[in-house]
Amino acid sequence: MIHPAYGVLRQVTESASVLLCHNPGPLTLEGTNTWVLRAPASDEMVVVDPGPDDAEHIGRLAALGPIPLVLISHRHGDHTDGIDAIVDATGATVRSVGSGFLRGLGGYLTDGEIIDAAGVRIRVLATPGHTADSVSFVLDDAVLTADTVLGRGTTVIDDEDGSLADYLDSLRRLRDLGSRTVLPGHGPELADLAAVADMYLSHRQERLEQVRQALVVLGDDATARQVVEEVYRDVDETLWKAAESSVRAQLAYLRAV
Ligand SMILES: [Zn+2]
C-alpha cells in the first residue's frame, strides 16, 4: 500500500502499524502518523502520539482493541491534541516527558527507560532539538523518530525551545543505533536509520555553511528573514516562515560558537 493510506491501519514491521490521520499540510506532510505497537500475540496495544483532536481518527484507534498505554513523542498539537479524546475513549494511561499533559499522566518518561507493554520492548531515547521535550522510541528492529527524523524533507527547529546543537547531538545518537527501520511522525517509513541520520547531518552542515556564507555577504547582524531570502531561494515560498525559524536556530548556533 502506498503512503498515504488514510483511515486504514497499515502494518509496517512485525510489531508496528501506522494509522495516518487526515491532517495534511506543509509541516505535517500527508498528516500525522499515529503508531500502534503490539506483539503478534497481544490483544492489547500501545499507541504512540494520538495525533490532533480528530474524532474520526481517535474513534478508529479506540475501535482497534484495548489501549492501556499512550506514549507521547513531544508536545506539538498535531501529535497531542487528541490526548483527552483517546483517554476518554480508552481509559489509557498517558506518558510524556512532562510538558504539561495532565490528563491520565502516568509518570514522566526518562532517557534510557525500558517500557514493556503489549509484548513489545520499547526503549526511551531522549532526542531533543526539534523541541526540548522530543523523544524517540527504540524497538528491536526499528525506531519511532516522531519529528526528529521525518519520512521526507527536513525537520524544523522550534523557536520556543528547539536547539540546533541539541538536534545535531540527537542525530548522532540516532545514527549510533545503526541500521534499522525509521518510523517517523510524518511521511513514509525509511529503510535505514544510520543512512538517513548521516544524510540529515550533512544537509545541516551544508545549510550552516550556506548561512555562514550569507553572513559574509549580508553582514554579521543580518536578520533571519534576510538570510532566508538569500539561502532558501530554492525552497517553496510557503515554507519560508518555517525556514525563518530554522535560520534563527542556525544563527543562534553560529553566534554561540
Ligand atoms: Zn513537532
- Select from 99, 193, 100 the least CA-distant residue to 141: 193
> Mean pLDDT across the stretch 17-35?
93
pLDDT of residue 246: 83
The rounded Å distance from CA 34 to ligand 1 centre is: 13
The rounded Å distance from CA 55 to ligand 1 centre is: 20
Give me 229's grid cell. 531570502
Distance CA 181, CA 22 (A): 24
In the chain, the amino acid numbered 172 is R
The rounded Å distance from CA 92 to ligand 1 centre is: 22
Q: How many CB atoms lie within 10 A of CB 237?
A: 11
The rounded Å distance from CA 219 to ligand 1 centre is: 32
The rounded Å distance from CA 10 to ligand 1 centre is: 22
The rounded Å distance from CA 69 to ligand 1 centre is: 21
Give a three-class secondary structure readout of 166-227: HHHHHHHHHHCCCCCEEEECECCCECCHHHHHHHHHHHHHHHHHHHHHHHHHHCCCCCHHHH
217: exposed, middle or buried (Cβ count in 10 Å: 0-12, 13-18, 19+):
exposed
The rounded Å distance from CA 216 to ligand 1 centre is: 32
The rounded Å distance from CA 24 to ligand 1 centre is: 14
pLDDT of residue 1: 47
pLDDT of residue 201: 96
First and final C-alpha spacing in the chain: 46
Say whether 38 sits in a helix, a strand or coil.
Answer: coil
The yes-or-no verdict on residue 26 having pLDDT over 90 is no
Cα 242 to chain centroid distance, Å, stands at 16
Q: Which residues pair with 188 in a beta bridge?
A: none
- What proportion of the chain, given as a percentage, has pLDDT over 90? 79
The rounded Å distance from CA 147 to ligand 1 centre is: 5
The yes-or-no verdict on residue 128 having pLDDT over 90 is yes
Q: What is the pLDDT of residues 196-233, one digit of tens each?
A: 999 999 999 998 999 999 999 999 999 999 999 998 88
- Select from 9, 15, 91, 4 the least CA-distant residue to 57: 9
> Mean pLDDT across the stretch 105-112?
88
> What mean pLDDT value characterizes the chain?
92
- What proportion of the chain, given as a percentage, has pLDDT over 70? 96
In the chain, the amino acid numbered 157 is I
> Mean pLDDT across the stretch 152-179?
92
pTM of the model: 0.92
pLDDT of residue 239: 83
Q: What is the pLDDT of residues 48-72, one digit of tens each?
A: 999 999 999 999 999 999 999 999 9
The kind and range of the H/E element at 83 are helix 83-90
